[in-house]
Structure 1
């Protein structure tokens, strides 16, 4: 396996196709990355800006330039010493019937279709038909919009195949005769009988555990790998697969061990299973550890108290993290994932009925309650075969049992837990339950934590990121060093990130917001100053003003307004995506106009000026740690320089790729250039066999410095919690012992250090230092 030096993520879309990526190559070559990391390139729904809604695995997307365009990009990149990494989507594809010809055939021929095995469809649950929740209203109200056109049924722009021999039937009979049931979109929540991606009915799950499905859906990707067009892979959402470990083993064999990282979100102290045949994760674990260094634990506690006073939210609706996350999980299970829960209930009921006297008397309601109470207590995204008994612990089972009013009925918890652990019998149904329990657990965690609780519990927005833990937002230098030592020893080829297409705020925005944890009183004073804006509620006001701080006080009404509406709908406290409260949303827009998007933004700009140096220290510190710690740094487009973006689609805006910018780089770009060029010049210092050694400062402000040495050749040192450092009097009397030798400052070639470096001198020009041994 050849490790990339550094990768650069490009968001391909019709407005930025392969030709545009090729035009950016001179800039990216000058930047110093070794590989382009491309978003999905297979055929997708026309106009898709992300490509995760694949419609045809056998073709490269025409809107991007087709296979010829991709190969031309690869050839041009190779001439500049740059390879390609592809993002692949094995878990799901588009459920748009008119664009997904495999699904079209299944709906035309039913279970007899050769493609029926591609999808997780519970035919029995739908009386032999697939529920298609595509109608704008109840069927009876939409009949006039349904028309028959030959062997096709049309509904607006949507079209559906007709079962053979049914085209001449009266409409009511024709609808009943199909292998599918057209239904009001609201029925998806409770009646859906195919596995989907999270709660998105427009994305249908794939059964890549089937060898023939794996072969068909990976043939083009593997061809590109064999032809040398592609050097490595990023695997999207492996937690959605029935058996991630087996899939990754098969992929590893098929690619002959090419560099592959997976979008596996690790929670808390969870570790990637050691037996998985991958180079590591896509890096959200690194993001959490880097960001945590810049969250002041004392200030976070003060912010929490101020947040509860300001918002007045209840403990389980944003006041405290654990009860908020638990309440969000219950909400998602009983609403958004009700269909998935019912599928598990049906399977468990069948198993119990066939299992003999010991399991036969567990009622569906008891199994449903047991499922719910166990799922909300899974502390990570999903259990795996190895170590599942730790995740689905006995203590969690005892807590779940306590919910039952009759002790004897609580035995249903043991049945569900044993089924999920694979301990209660064998057979296809048992294996199916185990896999679907794990898949549902993953969807639950993602939707309840990332897409709900993170928008309800908001004391410090900078820590509410994928893989983050708002209960433990701060990371000590010792914890960071332990994490880096683990990566260097066990996963030296893992990816590391600071910003991605899925982060809710770019690293620059988070760096500015993190400063609030260092001086909560300044934040409180700002809130008092802007209190005149008529916010629809205090919780939204808190989020809005922190968002404005993250943008440096820029009065960008449309961007802030869009982010706030998304936040409110995801939180689902006053308005939702499906039950929008027009009056509330109008109040949100009015508040943005008069508050953070209006004259009061001047107060935030003044605040930003007073905290600019601290935000700069956070931004440069996080960037340099990311670029020099163990692993392969993945830079999201534009983030090599100052780049402030909010949640998607804001973070998918086009960015400039001007080679002239490299000649006179700004502060952050200069740091990025220096680190990437050093990685390219000294690959052994950062590669698979490199070493990591923590360096610890001495003196009264030692905790404000994080430093380490890579392979005895490169030293990284950064400032943390600089605002508190300045309040305490600066670096006076604090020094950093350096390894033996003479060390040159890569960012200022006229400076050299030996022995113990005085930190006031080391950080005289920048709050970060990158040193290279020269003697």
Structure 2
């Protein structure tokens, strides 16, 4: 039987918030009403990791969090409180470095490593100098210059040898040791050392597919190192001879260069990674290498501990990080489901507008970005969004005339830029593969590398979704996937008419399996793994920081060029979810959201007053002109800055500066992470400092924020209540049960003040039912209304889970009156009604006899304690004491629903 949570609470674990710290807040979470604690990844990660996604070992619990003992104490505490647990898992990649014994073994032994099959490495790239080698781009300058400057040397650690470069250490290939040990044997006059030198040189070099020979080689290598260790301990002069030989090697650049060329890796300038790296990464992160989890032995070894926790009931479910990075997501999820048939499984699948999770996937749903964007879309004013486009263009002025105001064009341009730079090595790999395919098809063999590279870039940039799921080995392709591929092909042909249209058609035919073969299959699978990073890096991590019409819509999986959703469209989305994925996760904030839910809720108000906002933005720009350095910051950055201040105010100078620096580097227009424009960054830093110290500006800013803050808080309560009553399992990101004005990470990973939250919850619990809404509203500044909505909704879900489960219907309620489009009302099952307003600043409270039709019976408002009868009810009456209404049908004599 599936173990479905009624709700989850996300905790970000790190060395400053360990298992013991999490255990201390468990009682508070239980009292709040959540059913499950949802933890960030806690298998062993790289030292100092702040997030846990850089896993280095799947066999151990992260020692910095408290290790196995701390984990056991934490789980025991949850068990005592009858709280379940969900864990974030990372199947797609691992972190590099010495802590990762798999990766260290690969660098040491190359294709003969016991773990070479674990990683997605191209051992035979087109560039011959990288054949059977892993590119390690860590050097601060060109290889030869660093070598000349003494920045690379070989050192001894006991009986082992390592290469030191740029503050990192790498292993030495055993067959290269004769270069050190043979000379050392002469100095030490040791026949045994000479024998060992020759033996290391004679080690076999089997390919990783020959498991038996690889294990035999590993055995021989271990024996040789053991003998070397014994020899160093027993024969005087051996260690001295080795160290003298090492000293000579490090002093002889030609010999050292030859020795380094014998390694299974190639040290390189860090800037080469974008074009030459030979392994699949997580997006463009060089320190995260792709896992071949589709191989059963890799799956078994990397999932053993998590699966054991699921079998024992330590975990009730998992969230699968980035399933689109996997070679075959469906196969992976089926295997996971077979091993954990009763687990609640959600995937971090990013769905673009109009796209829905594949019903063939044996999981409960997504991690909630689709819900976040749907509820955010219904809270903006469509007409106001159109006007905001004109406001944005006017603010940008002639400098950006016609630019940055069409999101699709911005997104496409940024995808192309990323394809040319950060993801260049991935493009090169696909290009080489497709050129081989062309060579084996006589009608296509004359397409050049350059043509193919351009076509692949353009086709990838034209994909409207993260990826398709064609599986040639199973002859699987859906009409949906075929349509996306055809759409992208036609788009690419239109945009690049200088490229032969026949090449695009051939790419389409390969991707749709019209043309088949071994190489074609490999290309299809790799291309599908590739388009996700293009979308993520080009759109979410670049275009979203360039296109600033209304930044509250710039969220993962959203199209900020759209003008929002109607109430009918929102209802249609919820009905679809109830029919297909009724226990998916619903979220408003995550560790990856660009802005917190409360920041987005406040920014949504700007769509209701576009003209007023446009006026103040222009006035503020004139007011702050003296603080610019020449033309820096540019108008687009300044426009983003004012929205950021409105959304997150009060915002201290240091947080504002940190956020704006991250934003402009992500935008890659004036400066970047890899090529800092110090002049621009200094000017921006100064602009933020001066404007936030300028009293006239601060006075106007605070006055404007005061006008939008109230409606923004109503928006927050609206989306919060919807999250807890719409189809799905609501997730609460740590700390967001009170007003939270955080920006993108690391801002949203600041420590949470759980003591304040615990105190406020205790105050709520002792409040008497009479006039409870008024007392809650008095605590508006502290965030008490938001905490109240969450507390009441969570406890209702805990008391009556059947009202929100897969069988509980979702039905819009009829709203009548001229303002009916300003009301969102729906029924869950036949016993819970949600009635909330939208566009409240535009409404200014004039509801003009707008009514909602409730089914017959007596309904108690869980947020005010008041009773109403069924039939036509004035929405104004429902909201007179509290901005939103959560109605539960009950017999009046039962008296349920108190605090």
TM bucket (normalised to shorter chain) is over 0.9
Stretch deviating more after TM superposition (653-662 or 628-637):
653-662
Cα gap change, 1:596 to 1:383, in 2 (>3 Å): farther
How far did residue 356 of structure 1 move? 4.1
**Residue 367 of structure 1 contacts residue 413 of structure 1 at CA under 8 Å; is this kept in 2?**
no
Higher helix share: 2
Distance 1:211 1:431 in 2: 19
Q: Deviation at 1:366?
A: 2.2
Counterpart of 2:20 in structure 1 is 19
Matched, 1:746 2:836: no
Residues 245 and 575 of structure 1, relative CA distance in 2, 3 Å threshold = same
> Equivalent of 1:419, from 510, 514, 518?
510
Q: Distance in 1 between matches of 2:615 and 2:882?
A: 29
Residue of structure 1 in register with 2:576 after alignment: 486
Change (3 A) 1:696 1:596: farther
**How far is the alpha carbon of 1:72 from its aligned partner?**
1.9
Match of 1:444 in 2: 534
Stretches of structure 2 that go unaligned for 5 or more consecutive residues are 181-248, 250-254, 471-476, 765-783, 892-899
Q: CA deviation at 1:410?
A: 3.0
2:587 to 497, 511, 515: 497
Number of equivalences: 768
Aligned equivalent of 1:255:
340
The reply on whether 1:341 has 2:437 as its aligned counterpart is no
Answering whether residue 585 of structure 2 is matched by residue 467 of structure 1, we say no
C-alpha displacement at 1:645, in angstroms?
0.3
Task: Give the alignment of 1:399-438 within 5 angstroms.
Answer: 399-402=491-494, 409-427=500-518, 429-438=519-528
3-state SS, counterpart of residue 28 of structure 2:
helix
The 3 A distance-change label for structure 1 pair 316 and 206 is farther
1:287 to 366, 372, 390: 372
Q: Residue 216 in 1 paired to residue 301 in 2?
A: yes
SS, match of residue 59 in structure 1: strand
Counterpart contact for 2:3–2:317, Cα < 8 Å: no
Confirm or deny: 8 A CA contact 1:316 1:327 kept in the other structure.
Answer: no
How far the C-alpha of 1:467 sits from its partner, in A, is 1.1
Residue 114 (structure 1) aligned with residue 210 (structure 2): no
Work out whether 1:770 is the aligned partner of 2:886. Answer: yes
TM-score by length of 1: 0.97
Q: In the aligned structure 1, how far is the partner of 2:299 from the partner of 2:754?
A: 37
Distance 1:43 1:504 in 2: 27
Q: CA deviation at 1:606?
A: 1.2
Task: For 1:129-528, list aligned pairs within 5 A.
Answer: 129-143=133-147, 144-150=150-156, 151-167=161-177, 168=180, 170-312=255-397, 314=400, 317-353=403-439, 355-385=440-470, 386-387=477-478, 389-402=481-494, 409-427=500-518, 429-528=519-618
Give the structure-2-normalised TM-score. Answer: 0.84
| 2:541 counterpart SS class | helix
In structure 1, runs of 5+ residues without a counterpart are: none
Q: Which deviates further from its counterpart, 159-168 or 512-521?
A: 159-168
Kindly name which structure, 1 or 2, has the bigger radius of gyration based on alpha carbons.
Answer: 2
How far apart, CA to CA, are the structure 2 residues paired with 1:359 and 1:30? 66
8 Å CA contact 2:282, 2:288 repeated in 1: yes
Q: Distance in 1 between matches of 2:401 and 2:523?
A: 34
User: How far 1:391 sits from its partner (Å)?
Assistant: 4.4
Moved more, 385-394 or 510-519: 385-394
Structure 1 residues 475 and 185: alpha-carbon distance in aligned structure 2, compared to 1, 3 A threshold: same
Give yes or no for contact 2:458–2:496 (8 Å, CA) kept in 1: no
Paired position in structure 1 for 2:763? 664
Q: CA deviation at 1:89?
A: 0.4
Q: Secondary structure at the match of 2:339?
A: helix
Aligned-pair distance for 1:315? 6.7
Deviation of 1:317 (Å) = 4.7
TM-superposed CA distance for 1:48, in Å, is 0.5
Q: 1:639-650 residue pairs with structure 2 within 5 A?
A: 639-650=736-747
Give the distance between the partners of 1:766 and 1:376, measured in 2 at CA.
47
| C-alpha spacing 1:245/1:635, structure 2 compared with 1 (3 Å) | same
Deviations 1:621-658 (A, max 9, x none): 01101111000001100111111100100000111223
SS of match in other structure, 1:459? coil
Contact 2:140 2:166 in 1 (8 A): no
Report the CA distance shift for 1:227/1:702 in structure 2 as closer, same or farther (over 3 A): same
Alpha-carbon distance in structure 1 between the residues aligned to 2:276 and 2:683:
34
Alignment of 1:711-730 (within 5 A): 711-726=829-844, 730=846
Structure 2 counterpart of 1:7? 8
- Residues in 1 aligned to 2:18 and 2:602: alpha-carbon distance in whole angstroms: 33
> Which deviates more, 67-76 or 581-590?
67-76
Give the CA RMSD over aligned residues: 1.6
Deviation digits for residues 226-247 of structure 1 (CA, Å, limit 9, x no counterpart): 1221110000000100000100
Cα distance in 2 for residues equivalent to 1:345 and 1:529 = 51
Cα distance change, pair 392–750 in 1 and its aligned pair in 2 (3 A) = closer
Structure 2 residue 704 is matched with structure 1 residue 694: no
Going from structure 1 to structure 2, the CA distance change for 1:395 and 1:69 (only over 3 Å counts) comes to closer
